[in-house]
Amino acid sequence: MRWIMSAADDTRLCLGEDVAFQSLGDGHETVVVSLKTGFLYSCNDTTRAFLEAVDGNKTLAEISRELVAVFAVAEDRLLNDLRLLADRMLAEGLISVANEKNA
């Protein structure tokens, strides 16, 4: 049974073990693939930057502070958007909680 969880600001996230992503170049989409399910996703620059920052070491709040320098948006709005994005990606199995990766 898969637990559906919500990412808190202090949650450390990592890319799912069976997930890969590749940018198609500046101004183009990024492709995300789950090798486990075979599902293919396309995403925008914000999601690409989020995936690049998800390394298992940084918290969601730290990622938000890092990305606020890249995107012209208020930090509280970006953090809220990243919480929603993280929750969706956790539900899809594209990312996981870093300390639960090997559990």
- Integer Cα distance of 65 and 49 in angstroms: 12
Q: How far is CA 58 from CA 9, 25, 53, 100, in A?
A: 10, 25, 8, 15
Classify burial at 89, counting beta carbons within 10 Å of its beta carbon; exposed 0-12, middle 13-18, buried 19 or more: buried
Domain boundaries, the chain: 13-94
More confident residue, 3 or 72: 72
- Taking only the tens place, the pLDDT of each residue in 33-92 is 999 999 999 999 999 999 999 999 999 999 999 999 999 899 999 999 999 999 999 999
Q: Place 103 in a pLDDT band, splitting at 50, 70 and 90.
A: very low
- Most distant CA atoms of the chain, gap in Å: 39
**CA-CA-CA-CA torsion for 34, 71, 27, 94, nearest 10 degrees?**
0
More confident residue, 8 or 18: 18
Determine the CATH number of domain 13-94: 1.10.10.1150
